[in-house]
Amino acid sequence: MLSKLATIQLEQRLSKLIEQCSAVDAAVVATLDGYTCAMKQRSQQYPLERLATMGSTLMSLGDTITAELRLGTCDNIISENKNGIVAFMHIDDNLVLITLATQKNALGMLLSHSRRCAEEMKKVVV
Amino acid sequence: MDKIIFTGPMGAGKTTAISSISDIPPISTEVRCSDDAQLRKETTTVAMDYGYFSLDDGSRVHLYGTPGQERFDYMWTILTKGGIGLVLLLDNARPDPLADLTFYLDAFKDFIQQTGAVIGVTRMDVSNQTSLDDYRNTLFARDQIFPVFEVDARQPNDVKILIHALLAILQ
């Protein structure tokens, strides 16, 4: 499990993500076996612990699919929906970043901010 | 499509059982455990296991393994869709395997009512404090009668016995 300091740093980085990218409504860091490490959302409307567990399942399925097809590692999984977008991406081999946007045209912004956030988080959890 | 679901607590042998009889290298979604569970088991299934097994008449039985932990219960609902029966594997060396039996029978109650189930008890060589009769008595007290077998999930014949028993009660 992560140290207390690392958890605080992840929470701070999630706050920064939500501050810097107006499209992000919620963000969660989860372990690949489904435990929540850190989470932030603009309003308390999403069950983020459940999302964390489901994110671990989806990321693992993505890894399995890309391995079966020999497509390398799975970078992102994007769920585009009627009322928003959810993006799942690896921070490292053990952690997943899940971000949620309710703006439908925000995919590029969501992915670029989330990717930068994941890269910075990777340095925190080394 | 004949689809059988393997379920049970973490470490009961679901992934191993599917691996031991699958005709193809099984598809697995195991990841490293990040909590205290890693003291006993290094990895855990977070989405599903999949393999298939050919019967003597050439027909295929598709084998799906669920994650064991309750936090992945949404996968239980997804994976049981279209299933014809349940193989419930229980680890006899866990602290209260009869409570595990009750928990999974309740969790899969609707699916079992529509289909059927067999029980495979693993790791009886590690702990024999709970006997097969204890499992049968628990089932009897719930007005449920399912075949109960001692199995080693690593042994293909043990797992095949479970599959054949399940197919027999479904006929």
* Residue B74 with chain A: CB contacts under 8 Å: 54, 57
Token readout for A76 is 């992102």
Residue B67 and residue B45: Cα distance in Å, rounded?
A: 5
Q: How far is residue B143 from each of residues B135, B138, B171, measured CA to CA in Å? A: 12, 9, 20
Q: Which domain holds residue B97?
A: 2-170
Question: What average pLDDT does the segment B147-162 reach?
Answer: 97
Contact criterion met (CB below 8 Å) for B118 and B82: no
Give per-residue burial for B117-154: e unless 16+ CB within 10 Å, then b: bbbbbbbbeeeeebeeebbbebbeeeebebbbbbbbbe
Domain boundaries, chain A: 4-125
Does A56 contact B at CB distance below 8 Å? Answer: yes
Tens-digit pLDDT string for chain A (126 aa): 788 999 999 999 999 999 999 999 999 999 999 999 999 999 988 999 999 999 999 999 999 999 999 999 899 999 999 999 999 999 999 999 999 999 888 999 999 999 999 999 999 988
CB-based contacts of A42, cutoff 8 Å, min separation 6:
A18, A25, A26
- SS3 of B38, please? helix
The angle subtended at Cα A103 by Cα A98 and Cα A124, nearest 5°, is 30
Backbone phi and psi for residue B116, each to the nearest 5 degrees, phi listed first: -175, 175
What pLDDT score was predicted for residue B1? Answer: 74
- Angle subtended by helix axes A4-20 and A107-125, to nearest 10: 160
Q: Residue B122 belongs to a domain with what CATH number?
A: 3.40.50.300
**How do B27-32 and B43-54 pair as beta strands?**
antiparallel
**Among partner residues A32, A34, A64, which is closest to B72 by beta-carbon distance?**
A34
Q: Note the pLDDT tens digit of each residue in B41-74.
A: 889 999 999 999 999 999 999 999 999 999 999 9
pLDDT of residue B38: 61
CA pair distance B153, B14, nearest whole angstrom: 7
Report helix, strand and coil shares of chain B as percent, to nearest 5.
40, 25, 35
H helix or E strand, kind and range, residue A19: helix A4-20
Q: Is A62 helix (H, G, I), strand (E, B) or coil?
A: helix
At residue B18, the pLDDT reads 98
B37 has a pLDDT exceeding 70: no
Name the 3-class secondary structure at A123: helix
Q: How many domains does chain B have?
A: 1
Q: How far is B74 from chain A (nearest CA, A)?
A: 8
Q: What is the pLDDT of residue B118?
A: 98
Interface test with B, best of A33, A59, A73 (most B CBs within 10 A): A33
A64 contacts chain B (CB < 8 A): yes
For tokens 């628990």, the residue is B138
Could you tell me if A61 lies within 8 Å of chain B, comparing CB atoms? yes
B25 CB-near residues (< 8 Å, 6+ apart) = B51
Q: What is the mean pLDDT of residues B103-117?
A: 97
ipTM: 0.80
Architecture label for domain A4-125: 2-Layer Sandwich (3.30)
Q: How confident is the model at residue B39 (pLDDT cuts 50, 70, 90)?
A: low
Lowest mean pLDDT among A43-57, B33-47, B136-150, B155-169: B33-47
